[in-house]
């Protein structure tokens, strides 16, 4: 959703991440492949106002540059209803993160209780770090 609108918390969070000297995000090879598959689908490219497939791939490359690269040592599938959300969970658990930031917290039901990982929306996270009130 960060690519769909410059007005939302998702976009604001992306801008904040790119402005930091420290890395706060984590990716894996599997997760990046999923980003590429989903974000470069023709129907999604049409939603991204004035962005080409190459622009989107460059954006994903930039995300990789500002993120820790996590090797996956333990698989936690299946845990969530959506196997693609399980990929996010695997990165989070293997990287020992404090929080997963998602526009859809309900997709990560049970993660806090089972893994002690906070599930926050972009707006909640930005509020927590003092970027918005």
Which residue's structure tokens are 């690519």?
A: 3
29-57 pLDDT, tens digit per residue, is 999 999 999 999 999 999 988 899 999 99
* Domain ranges across the chain: 9-128
9-128 classified as CATH 3.40.50: yes
pTM: 0.89
Structure tokens at 79: 């845990």
Q: How far apart are CA 40 and CA 102, in angstroms?
A: 20
73-128 pLDDT, tens digit per residue, is 877 778 999 988 999 999 999 999 999 999 999 999 999 999 999 999 999 999 99
Pairing of strands 99-101, 67-69: unpaired
Burial of 89 (0-12, 13-18, 19+ CB in 10 A): buried
Structure tokens at 116: 């002690």
φ, ψ dihedrals at 13, nearest 5°: -65, -45
pLDDT number for residue 32 = 97
Q: How far apart are CA 73 and CA 67, in angstroms?
A: 18
């Amino acid at each position: 959703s960060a690519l769909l609108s410059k007005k939302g918390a998702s976009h604001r969070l992306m801008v904040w991440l790119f402005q930091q000297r420290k890395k706060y995000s984590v990716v894996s090879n599997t997760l990046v492949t999923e980003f590429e598959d989903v974000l470069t689908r023709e129907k999604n490219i049409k939603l991204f106002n004035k962005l080409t497939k190459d622009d989107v791939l460059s954006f994903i490359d930039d995300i990789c540059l500002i993120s820790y690269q996590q090797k996956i040592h333990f698989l936690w599938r299946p845990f969530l209803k959506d196997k693609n959300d399980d990929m996010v969970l695997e990165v989070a658990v293997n990287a020992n993160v404090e929080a997963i930031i998602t526009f859809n917290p309900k997709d990560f039901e049970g993660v806090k209780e089972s893994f002690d990982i906070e599930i926050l929306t972009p707006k909640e996270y930005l509020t927590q770090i003092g970027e918005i009130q």
